[in-house]
């Protein structure tokens, strides 16, 4: 039994009540590959709206979660609050939070552990900057980010890794199919050594970074690319084509 293809849509800070309703309606009415796990991550204000109107079989993720159960943490959202609302996944460690909000590897790891301990699935993001890639440090950077999580988490069965090269996010640039496959293969090799051969075999590794309906087909054919974390394209009708990339 192979790894189930997984497609996540990260809406980021985009959308309003009307556009979220339209996206949900489009997904509800679309013919989606039944073998693909689909998760969308709208802004936190619209999590309940999406969850209440999405058809069964499509899950909803938060874009972020805090690592404490409750308390004086203005603007944050807890694992229990998400769980109570029927939200089953969360993104953690997206490069925009690492870069803009200065979230370090240890904090990302702590949030990952809290989410898993509370029963959420985690889409764990990792990726390098253009300078780091040009310096030949891609694998070092990515595995360092993952090692921080491995220090506090031992069961990776509810983690989906999303490799997102920072230089390809929202830029229109995309890693070549070969570049993406090479990094995914190295991540899987790292999982086998650092976690277990079973984790390497079973953990899904997604590609993210300017994924569109035009480039998803070739990427989906690669042996170590198990799906996508989609940004801007997840707001468009073409998101359906990306979900169906594996079957088409």
173 has a pLDDT exceeding 80 = no
Is the residue at 58 inside a domain? Answer: yes
Q: pLDDT class for 174, splitting at 50, 70, 90? A: confident
Is the residue at 226 inside a domain? Answer: yes
Which residue range(s) make up the domain with 203? 6-243
Read off the pTM.
Answer: 0.97
CATH code for the domain of 18:
3.20.20.70
Q: pLDDT class for 1, splitting at 50, 70, 90? A: low
Compute the C-alpha angle 226/50/99, nearest 5°. 60
What pLDDT does 170 receive?
78
What phi, psi does 227 have (nearest 5°)? 145, -165
Is the residue at 1 inside a domain? Answer: no
Is the residue at 14 inside a domain? Answer: yes
Is the residue at 66 inside a domain? Answer: yes
Separation between Cα atoms, residue 61 and residue 44, nearest integer Å? 9
Contacts of 129 (CB under 8 A, 6+ apart): 141, 166, 167
Interval 188-231: pLDDT, tens: 999 999 999 999 999 999 999 889 999 999 999 999 999 999 99
Is the residue at 20 inside a domain? Answer: yes
Q: Which residues are catalytic?
A: 94, 164
Q: Reduced to 3 states, what is the DSSP secondary structure of residue 174?
A: coil
Is the residue at 248 inside a domain? Answer: no
Instruction: Supply the mean pLDDT for the chain.
Output: 96
Domain count, the chain: 1
């Amino acid at each position: 039994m192979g790894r189930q293809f997984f497609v996540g849509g990260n809406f980021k800070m985009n959308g309003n009540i009307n556009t979220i309703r339209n996206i949900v309606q489009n997904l509800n009415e679309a013919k989606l590959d039944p073998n693909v796990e689909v998760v969308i991550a709208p802004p936190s204000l619209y999590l309940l709206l999406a969850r209440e109107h999405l058809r069964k079989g499509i899950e909803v993720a938060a874009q972020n979660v805090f690592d404490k159960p409750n308390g004086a943490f203005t603007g944050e959202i807890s694992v229990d609050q998400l769980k109570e609302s029927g939200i089953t996944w969360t993104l953690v460690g997206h490069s925009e939070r690492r870069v803009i909000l200065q979230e370090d590897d240890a904090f990302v790891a702590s949030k990952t552990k809290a989410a898993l301990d509370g029963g959420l699935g985690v889409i764990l993001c990792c990726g390098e900057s253009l300078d780091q890639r040009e310096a030949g440090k891609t694998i070092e950077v990515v595995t360092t980010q993952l090692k921080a999580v491995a220090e506090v988490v031992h069961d990776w069965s509810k983690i989906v890794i999303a490799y997102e090269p920072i230089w390809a996010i929202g830029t229109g640039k995309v890693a070549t199919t070969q570049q993406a496959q090479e990094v995914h293969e190295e991540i899987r090799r790292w999982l086998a050594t650092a976690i277990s051969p079973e984790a390497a075999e079973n953990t899904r590794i997604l590609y993210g970074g300017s994924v569109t309906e035009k480039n998803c087909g070739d990427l989906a054919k690669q042996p170590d690319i198990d799906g996508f974390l989609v940004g801007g394209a997840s707001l468009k009708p073409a998101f359906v084509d990306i979900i169906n990339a594996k079957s088409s």
